[in-house]
Chains A and B, each alone.
Chain A
Amino acid sequence: MALLQISEPGQSSAPHQRNHAAGIDLGTTNSLVAVNRSGSIETLADEAGRHLLPSVVHYGEQDILVGQQALDLQADDPLNTLSSVKRIMGRGVEDVASLLNVLPYEFDGNNESSVPRIITRQKAVSAIEVSAEILKTLNLRAEQTLGEALSGVVITVPAYFDDAQRQATRDAARLAGLKVYRLLAEPTAAAVAYGLDQQPDGVIAVYDLGGGTFDISILRLNKGVFEVLATGGNTALGGDDMDHDIGEWVIREAGLEKIDAVMSRKILRAARHAKETLTTQNSAPIDIEHAGQKIHLILQRELFDSLIADLVKKTLMSCRRVLRDARIEREEITNVVMVGGSTRVPLVVEQVGEFFGRDPLTKLDPDRVVAIGAALQADVLAGNKQDQEMLLLDVLPLSLCIETMGGLSEKIIERNSPIPVARAQEFTTFKDGQTAMSIHVVQGERELVSDCRSLAHFELRGIPPMAAGAARIRVTYQVDADGLMSVTAEELSSGVKSDIVIKPSYGLTDVEIESMLRDSMSHAREDIEARMRAEQQVEARRVIEAIDSALAQDGRELLDEDEFAAIVAARDELSSVLEQATADQIKAAIRQVEESSETYVARRMNASVRKVLSGKNIEQLEV
């Protein structure tokens, strides 16, 4: 592998090795894992043949149950059986309060972390840890089926997830010990699943109504490139709300006054059952028994439709806006794809069809289509698809802004900008000798910071002391392909890079993650050290291999004698410490190689850009 080797699309760096990669749909209600098994993408079932894993975790005295077993305990032990935690991923303590009717849990009110913890009889847990349990179960299922460990996974998130929600998902994967190739937007995954066996090019609208989230994305598909044009939605709208609408109707009809947690669970369960029945029937019975109370009601489809009319209308409003953002007319849409269990509701299919003026595609199982698309992408990223020219270009769902004077937000990166994306801004100091400053980053479209989602406070330290106004600090906001933001800062006149301390508004700090990781490992500290060392060794070997191959190709062409010698020296040093050094020492040696080869990499990059556009076969050029 060469340093920034540009290979033809789809060509893997290690062509003979087959990597097992999986796609994971981490859903509000259900989760799934899909893999490529001898050429076809399949979702995997448990021993009982069930593909859907209910996203439910039960915390007992000692043990933790995940999935159907947990779900079975929910009605009787609601407070220790956690479901729909996706709704509080990346959310703060105050957000949780507004969700109490949907998530009837007890929250730990006085902990120092910004991440809310749910109190169970075993321990207080965050949504991230609960999600990690679900991911572990899916990972185990994949490993048992394949008989081998997974090399990496693609995990889907709602397109409309903000930075904090995406970060929380990544953290959950880290706790579960998974290597994440990519976080992929759910609608994009669905489009991939449909796109590859449909006619190739066109404009696709993906309407994704899940248990707790709604997404609408417009994509252009052109020769294997899926380009998201615009995305919109609502991360707190979904099938759960339909259950809740029915539940409220039940409470009104039955004239209930006091409702405990168990009753509330039973009502919601009956409501969901009725909703499911109404996808094929015109009426559904609702029977609930609790503490000597008996409720019997019949819900007619027409009434159900009127209960959820507002919800469906809200989703169509989002569709309008996203069409406008994409600068696409309704007539230009060539396909409408339906995703998410809630699109089984007849009123939804009917109204969406009417809105777009064409029958939505429902050929693939709306519950599985996202996992299948994710697995396809995972397979490509793992380097298994030699001939597949597939590329997914995503966008930033919500604008990134910083707080300015008077609590106003200033947009740095507009929503629907293609990612990865970076923008730089210059600041100066306003006091003599000032060495630190703080930047508050928020996400959203509104003018007031208080109406946007706070992401983090970045504290820049180590600005060289100068007279007020003399320092020129360039702050770069970088959003990667996962939609995750990072910030770097540099004082331009001195070239000094600032240290940045991140205080996430609704996320775990590195220290918290570290301690959770330690807790999750059954062994002592040495094990963690050993693991970190092994990871650095793998990285070091990768670096050496990349340098060797690059130097052999064009080192003499692009470097003078001194530059060449400096890189070789750093490379040899790394190679010599590789076997005995500690993780930190290996890391430092890798850093040395990186620094010495910085210019070289830039030169190779420029050479590559020219080659890409000249249309020549790059592989041949590099031989």
Chain B
Amino acid sequence: MNHDSKQNYFELFGLPVEFQLDTRLLHDNHQKLQSAFHPDRFVNATDQERRIAVQQASMINQAYDTLHNPVQRARYMLRVAGVETNDSQTTQDASFLMEQIEMREELDQCRSCQDPMRCCDHITGKLEQRSAQYAHQFTELYSAGRYDEANQVSRKMLFVERVGEQIDEYQLEIEEKLF
């Protein structure tokens, strides 16, 4: 893309490279930048300017999406620190593997239980707890420069996010059936 590769997404929004970020400021600065670079501001400009505006606005949106989502933010921070983040790497953490299996089983049981809505809420609650815990761990590990461990945690975060999405989808299905 047409941006200076030395500038990272955090710098683009004038934010420090930190996991706990000011989401309000992120949102405001995103809108400020879009207000300046959105292609609608270049309707009467030259073709080149219009093309660049589209690219620039796209980059701003991508940067926003990346920082807005906690899991993607964590993984992006690792890349900024020069750590490879690869989905296909498997975790060596045995207790986390156990936990994954348990979560999946619970989700499966949820599909056949009496009160699936409450069951889903229960799992969602657990997931939220986990998320908060991992966020905390990630922040500590990252600021201590223990990137490999932070990378492990980011993978756990990704897993939790995916289970959360599955539950969301499942709850919507149930609602639609009841409707």
Contact = CB atoms under 8 A, between A and B. Distances in A.
Interface of A: 1, 3-7, 9, 13-14, 152, 181-182, 222, 225, 227, 313, 316-317, 320-321, 324, 380-383, 389, 391-393, 417-423, 478-481, 539, 542-543, 546, 590, 594, 597, 601-602, 605-606, 608-609, 612-613, 618
Contacts of B36: 6, 9, 608, 612, 618
Interface in B33-64: 33-49, 52-59, 61-62, 64
Contacts of B85: none
B23 to A, nearest CB: 13
B12 A609 contact: yes
A420 B176 contact: no
B172 interface: yes
Contacts of B47: 539, 590
Given A225-B35, A612-B32, A13 B57 contact: no
Interface stretch (B1-9, B130-138, B148-156): B1-9
A1 B44 CA distance: 9
7 contacts: A9-B35, A182-B40, A227-B31, A324-B172, A543-B46, A546-B45, A612-B36
B8 to A, nearest CB: 13
A606 B4 CA distance: 7
Interface centre among B35, B38, B59, B62 (most CB of A within 10 A): B35
Given A422-B55, A613-B14, A601 B48 contact: yes
Given A420-B54, A421-B61, A543-B46, A605 B2 contact: yes
B175 interface: yes
A420 B42 CA distance: 13
Nearest to A378: B43
Given A316-B179, A602-B4, A612-B33, A418 B61 contact: yes
B7 to A, nearest CB: 7
Interface of B: 1-4, 7, 12-14, 29, 31-49, 52-59, 61-62, 64-65, 168, 172, 175-176, 179
Contacts of B54: 420, 478, 480-481
Interface centre among B37, B40, B43, B65 (most CB of A within 10 A): B43
B90 to A, nearest CB: 21
Given A4-B49, A539-B47, A602-B4, A418 B64 contact: yes
B62 A391 contact: no
B46 A542 contact: yes
A597 B12 CA distance: 23
Nearest to B58: A422
Contact of A601 (B52, B61, B65): B52
Contacts of A14: 44
B58 A320 contact: no
Contacts of B3: 602, 605-606
Contacts of A9: 35-36, 41
Contact of B57 (A181, A383, A481): A481
Given A539-B47, A601-B52, A391 B35 contact: yes
**Secondary structure type dominating chain A contacts:** mixed
A3 B49 contact: yes
B61 A417 contact: yes
Q: Which 7 A-B pairs have the closest CB atoms?
A: A422-B58, A481-B39, A420-B58, A594-B48, A613-B14, A612-B36, A418-B61
B35 A181 contact: no
Given A316-B179, A618-B36, 10 more contacts: A3-B49, A225-B34, A320-B172, A382-B43, A383-B44, A418-B65, A421-B58, A422-B55, A542-B46, A597-B48
Contacts of B42: 4
A561 B68 CA distance: 42
Contacts of A392: 40
Interface centre among B34, B42, B58 (most CB of A within 10 A): B58
Contacts of B62: 421-423
A196 B61 CA distance: 25
A609 B55 contact: no
A316 B39 CA distance: 34
A602 B2 CA distance: 7
A9 B179 CA distance: 45
Given A1-B45, A391-B38, A480-B54, A417 B65 contact: yes
Nearest to A324: B172
Interface centre among B31, B40, B172 (most CB of A within 10 A): B40
Contacts of A380: 40
A222 B123 CA distance: 34
Nearest to A423: B62
Contacts of A597: 48
B57 A420 contact: yes
Contacts of A609: 7, 12, 33
A420 B61 contact: yes
Nearest to A541: B46
B33 A543 contact: no
